[in-house]
Amino acid sequence: MTEGGPLTGGPLFGLPLAEVWFGLLFFVLATFLFLDGFDFGVGALFGTRDDEAERETLLAAIGPFWDGNEVWLVVFGGTLFAAFPAVYANLFGRHYLLTFGILAALIARGLAPEMYEQREDDRWQRWWGRAFVGGSVAAPFFLGLFVGNWLVGATTAVTLPGVLVGLTLVALVVVDGVAFLRVKTRGDLRADLRATGYRALAAYLVSLVVTLAAIAVTTPLGSAMASPSVAALVAATLTLAALHAAATVRDRRYLAFGSAGGLVYALVGVVAVLLYPQIDPAAGLTVETAIVSTLPLNMMTVGAALLFPLIFAYFAVLYDSFSGPVEAGEGY
């Protein structure tokens, strides 16, 4: 046995733990954008409904889930801090104003439904409704801007690739939100959302093509864009989009929701593939140079192996307990 014990002698079982944690980091990010993404989408769609009963249904649909879904944002920040502390410090240090923007949007999105329900007053509810919609649109846009800047190694808050990724993510969360609401609603509301879903899907695909083209032309990532891995993820995106549209036509709502989730994972997968082997291009950090030392890396791996099954079990119970459409009379 190596002096200091098995946790200091090298990566556990000889596994490529730096790459494992890089993959885990983006899996957690994708899971957050999928689960909280439908919350954002519902918030954006809230602004398209004038009927008060329909608005109450939308709030009731996300009520049991949205704060739990944000756990994944905390897990993402914790994973980045624990596994790649230099990246955490550099990335948030460069974009602290954008980080405050994300937090402000998340606070508005979280606070608005609570306040909306407190008073039966038109002016009160109108303003808190606007805060709910604004926070729900701004949060994914700022998150996309953050990820776009991260990908291209930008040091300024606003860049063309960042803005395009932000707009792409807004379109995607609307696709996600429509798919979720078609599972959680009935009747005319569910039927009305079908056309909205088609438009959002078309907007997402157009935005994605424009974004990838802009990144290829305006950044050094053009050659990486032609790699087989990116091509496979783009092909997967087109397949998932076709599956989503077909499932919506045939009213296969759970399949449509699952394929919408697949679109989120494919988009985050493109970002991860384009980044690797770097993890912070602006600071010149690669996955291998930014990962923590062997002992904390091995200890974190053991902890994650114990913790993640508990998180998955919690979400399985949560979603099973509140499955099915919202019933009449249910509120936020």
Report which residue type is found at 159: T
- CA distances to 33, 37, 138, 231 from 135, rounded to whole Å, are 15, 12, 5, 34
What's the mean pLDDT in 101-129? 91
The predicted structure's pLDDT at residue 66: 86
Q: Is 156 within 8 Å of 196 (Cβ atoms)?
A: no
Interhelix angle 122-152/160-184, rounded to 10 degrees, is 130
pLDDT in tens, 205-245: 999 999 999 999 999 998 888 899 999 999 999 999 999 99
Alpha carbon distance 320, 126 (integer Å): 33
Instruction: Show the tokens assigned to 81.
Output: 């801090």
pLDDT in tens, 144-174: 999 999 999 998 989 999 999 999 999 999 9
The predicted structure's pLDDT at residue 33: 96
In order, the DSSP letters of 171-210 are HHHHHHHHHHHHHH--HHHHHHHHHHHHHHHHHHHHHHHH
Using alpha carbons only, give the angle 108, 109, 115 rounded to the nearest 5 degrees: 75
Q: Is 129 within 8 Å of 116 (Cβ atoms)?
A: yes
Q: Is 79 within 8 Å of 28 (Cβ atoms)?
A: yes
Interhelix angle 253-275/122-152, rounded to 10 degrees, is 40
Select, from the ranges 113-117, 120-124, 166-170, the one with the highest average predicted confidence (pLDDT). 166-170
The predicted structure's pLDDT at residue 3: 54
Alpha carbon distance 79, 140 (integer Å): 20
Residue 328 has pLDDT above 80, yes or no: no
Handedness of CA 44, 46, 47, 48 (dihedral sign): positive
- How many Cβ atoms sit within 10 Å of the Cβ of residue 108? 20
Which three-class secondary structure state does DSSP give residue 286? strand
Cα 61 to chain centroid distance, Å, stands at 19
Mean pLDDT over each residue of the chain, to the nearest integer: 92
The predicted structure's pLDDT at residue 4: 56
% of the chain exceeding 70 in pLDDT: 97
Instruction: Show the tokens assigned to 304.
Output: 């994650």
Phi, psi values for residue 286, rounded to 5°? -100, 170
pTM of the entire structure? 0.94
Instruction: Show the tokens assigned to 72.
Output: 């994944």
Instruction: Show the tokens assigned to 65.
Output: 């889930």
Q: Is 173 within 8 Å of 261 (Cβ atoms)?
A: no
User: pLDDT grade, residue 25 (50/70/90)?
Assistant: very high
Alpha carbon distance 216, 234 (integer Å): 14
Alpha carbon distance 11, 167 (integer Å): 40
Residue 120 has pLDDT above 60, yes or no: yes
The predicted structure's pLDDT at residue 1: 42
Instruction: Show the tokens assigned to 270.
Output: 């493109």
The predicted structure's pLDDT at residue 2: 47
Of the candidates 39, 47, 45, 89, the one whose C-alpha atom is nearest the C-alpha of residue 68 is 39
The predicted structure's pLDDT at residue 313: 95
Q: Is 44 within 8 Å of 170 (Cβ atoms)?
A: yes
Would you give the DSSP letter of residue 279?
Answer: E
User: pLDDT grade, residue 201 (50/70/90)?
Assistant: very high
What's the mean pLDDT in 299-316? 94
- How many Cβ atoms sit within 10 Å of the Cβ of residue 290? 23
Residue 276 has pLDDT above 70, yes or no: yes
